[in-house]
Chains A and B, each alone.
Chain A
Amino acid sequence: MKFFLPRLPKSFTRHLPERLLIIFVFLLALVIAYWSITKRYPLIGEYQKKSQSIHSLEDEVQRIKAQYPEQILKETESGYLRAMDFVFTNEDHIKFWFDYFQQRAGLVGLEMKQQLISNDIIKTVKAPIFLRSYQVELKPLQHYSTNTLSPHERLLSFLYELSTNQYKRLDFVELKAAGDGNQLEQAIVGIKLWYFTNAP
């Protein structure tokens, strides 16, 4: 450095402050320009995008509003409530339902036992619907003499009662009956109950 500096021409050091000032101004201008181009200029686009997104959101809201007017909710209300009537909405309800039919089975000389086999889930947009599969076992009572009907006729009668006049949806998916002619030894009925916990 000591060797090099004295060799610098006098013209280099002449007007040095002015030159440095110019270089400083020039570099400062370039730095500011760089900052403006890389940092500030993109903000214009960003703000424009944000504004456009708000307008797009406005359009989207209007579109969804038009597509799903409030009136539709009212119009579908009754159908939805009717469908809601088909499903069980709490555990007590299911228990009550089974208790009732156990009593009814007893009246026709049948012993009824139910067992939960599976609990399938049907997803909807808001909340799932549970599809509970039960296996209902029916057996003739051993000491039952008040009814003159044969066991299979009693079973038929009970199945008829089970499958008709239901105010809830009840899907029969299986029937297994075993016996000897009119002497029914055992019947197993597979049923599915619809259960929805988020009922209004």
Chain B
Amino acid sequence: MDKKVLAIYWLNGRFKALSIYKGEVKAVWESPKLVEDESNFQAALTDSVSQTGYDGVKVSVLISNRKTMFHLIEVPPVTGADLEYYVERKANQLKTFDDPLAFCYKKTLPTRISNGLLINIYPRPFLEKLAEACRNIDLHLSRMFTLQSVMQMQLGSLKVPSEEVVALAADVEGATALLIGRKDGEIYFGRTIYGDWKVDAEYVGTEIMRSILFVKQQFGAMALRLFIYGNENEKWTKTLEQFVGFPVEAPSYPSTPVDWLKESLKIRDDVTDNLVTPDLRQEPQARLFLKMVGFLAVVVAVCIGGWIGFVEKNVAKQNSEYMRLIPLLEKLEGEKKVVISRKEELEHRQQFVKYVTDNITNPVPGWFFGYLCDVFPDDLVLKELHIHQTNGLWYVHIDGVVQPADNKNLEQALSFGLQLLQNRLERSPFHFKVTGKTKFDLSAAISPISNSSQNDFSSALAMRREAGISMLGDGLTNTPSSGPLSFVEKIKGKEKTVFWLEGVMQ
């Protein structure tokens, strides 16, 4: 139970308020006038707060009026949202007003056919006006119960067998609240009879019997005892027994509005027969949550705004810094073009000078030709000279014939002349190196020349060998071939006069 509660007894116009603190009644105030409907509720509530000095928030109302109507309905075996949806549809079919409805319900014992619910239908605007009236003075309507809900709690305190069906009736300011149930707290049916047994006991008794028979018809259970609550209830037991036909008992508690209010506070808020719908019941939490989420959203928005401010400030700063450098950039780009052009010009000049002035090729062919003409042996005649440069080396090819100035032997003249030419070239400033020359000794060895010529040639070779001068093809002359070679045959007649020499120089 809440620490502070303003409990209001508002039954059929009678308005009584109790300020309760930790379960103790601190102040009681009763409206001197009847509070007929919700239009007067605001004023009565304000007065009750001021008169009782209530400083809490929670408001609990025990209510009974013609706007709340009980119906017994049968429901399929569903629960949760499906049940709520089904009940709402059913309630819409049963309602007798045009306004949107609100409803609460209480599970009953199963009927003969299916599950049963005792629903209470009332206009939603009525509920919202009460909630608004509370909200207007910073109160929160958290609970509103009919007397039947409180009466249900009394079932357990009755001294009857647990399975016995009993009927409870309470005198509520000119009306009679009726509840039929069992000691174990399970109920069958509840309704409000708009009649007072003090005024018209027969009518009330008849209506009670009708309800009992309705329960018998629907549930197959028959109440055989009636308990009546209210002031001086014991006086009316005999009267009512005449009409209901079974024993009527009169418990002493609860009997006054204060008793009923105290008992009503024992009911939990979140039961399904609370007339305050869950959305209104949880409104403070919803508002608090909404405020927190709103605050959080604002905090997030502010943080994001701060972030954006930070980013935009930096963007603007960097942008202005960049814009400030734009003229410098243009100037630098111009300067860069100039210096790059200068660099390229310089590199071009360096390359140009290097290519043009480095590695100048000397007119070696002319020099060599001139030198060759000077050193060419007298017995040899130059027929062809070819000098060309490849990969930095000069390749020289010399072709010629031998023409002895006197009656020298041809082979001897050629041998000595060619060797003389080789020696002169290799000792020249051209760093000449012979890479090949005519192998005259081979031709001499195999050619069919006269015996005298062969002897002369052999003696010439012998002279050179005696002098220690080696000759190309010396190895071949030691193993003369017995027969002529085809190549030799081809150059027959010329082989003795033609020579060639090849070499390289740097």
Residue ranges of A at the interface with B (Cβ–Cβ < 8 Å) = 6-7, 9-11, 14-15, 18-19, 22, 25-26, 28-30, 32-33, 36, 40-41, 43-44, 47-48, 50-51, 54, 57-58, 60-61, 64-65, 67-68, 70, 72-73, 76, 79-80, 82-84, 86-87, 122, 124-127, 129, 152-153, 155-156, 159-160, 162-164, 169-181, 189-190, 192, 194, 196
Contact = CB atoms under 8 A, between A and B. Distances in A.
B386 interface: yes
Most buried by A among B336, B349, B360: B349
Nearest to B312: A40
Contacts of B348: 124-127
> For chain A, what secondary structure do more than half of its interface residues adopt (helix, strand, loop), or is it mixed?
helix
Contacts of B389: 173-174
Contact of B339 (A51, A64, A84, A177): A64
B363 A172 contact: yes
23 contacts: A6-B85, A7-B85, A11-B279, A15-B290, A25-B298, A25-B301, A26-B300, A30-B304, A36-B307, A40-B315, A50-B325, A54-B329, A58-B332, A73-B345, A84-B356, A124-B351, A124-B355, A125-B344, A125-B348, A172-B364, A174-B365, A174-B389, A181-B382
B279 A41 contact: no
Interface residues of B, number: 75
A169 B279 CA distance: 107
A177 B368 CA distance: 12
B311 A64 contact: no
Interface string B277-289: 1110011001100
B346 A76 contact: yes
Contact of A70 (B336, B342, B388): B342
**B interface, over-half SS:** helix
Interface stretch (B24-32, B38-46, B261-269, B316-324): B316-324
A110 to B, nearest CB: 14
B303 to A, nearest CB: 8
B384 interface: yes
A48 B459 CA distance: 97
Given A14-B283, A40-B312, A58-B332, A129 B355 contact: yes
B293 interface: yes
A172 B388 CA distance: 9
B387 A51 contact: no
A61 to B, nearest CB: 5
A9 to B, nearest CB: 7
Given A11-B278, A14-B286, A163 B363 contact: yes
Closest 5 CB pairs of A and B: A163-B363, A175-B365, A47-B318, A159-B366, A10-B279
A41 B383 CA distance: 88
Given A51-B321, A86-B357, A169-B360, A68 B339 contact: yes
Given A54-B332, A163-B366, A36 B300 contact: no
Contact of A86 (B356, B366, B385): B356
A65 B339 contact: yes
A7 B81 contact: yes
A41 B311 contact: yes
B132 interface: no
Contact of A152 (B85, B362, B373): B373
Contacts of A51: 318, 321-322, 325
Nearest to B281: A11
Given A47-B318, A125-B351, 12 more contacts: A7-B81, A25-B297, A40-B315, A44-B318, A50-B322, A57-B329, A57-B332, A65-B339, A76-B350, A159-B370, A170-B363, A194-B356
A64 to B, nearest CB: 4
B313 to A, nearest CB: 10
B138 interface: no
A129 B355 CA distance: 9
Interface in B213-233: none
Contacts of B384: 176-179
B381 A18 contact: no
A179 B339 CA distance: 59
Given A19-B290, A64-B339, A80-B353, A179 B383 contact: yes
Contact of A83 (B356, B383, B386): B356
Contacts of A48: 318
A176 B344 contact: no
A9 B346 CA distance: 86
A36 B308 contact: yes
A57 to B, nearest CB: 5
Q: Which of A44, A64, A76, A162 has the most CB of B within 10 A?
A: A44
Contacts of B373: 152-153, 156
Nearest to B365: A175
B297 A162 contact: no
A24 B355 CA distance: 76
A171 B363 CA distance: 7
A44 B286 contact: no
B357 A83 contact: yes
A181 B489 CA distance: 27
B361 interface: yes
Contact of A159 (B304, B328, B362, B365): B365
Contacts of A43: 315, 318-319
A22 B297 contact: yes
Given A33-B307, A54-B332, A83 B279 contact: no
Given A22-B294, A80-B352, A178-B383, A58 B365 contact: no
Given A43-B315, A64-B343, A73-B346, A174 B388 contact: yes
B346 A68 contact: yes
B127 to A, nearest CB: 11
B287 A15 contact: yes
Contacts of A192: 361
Interface string B361-380: 11111111110010000000
B329 A175 contact: no
A173 B388 contact: yes
Among B301, B328, B339, B383, the most chain A Cβ lie within 10 Å of the Cβ of B339
B88 interface: yes
A2 B404 CA distance: 132
B420 interface: no
Contacts of A44: 311, 314-315, 318
A122 B354 CA distance: 12
B55 interface: no
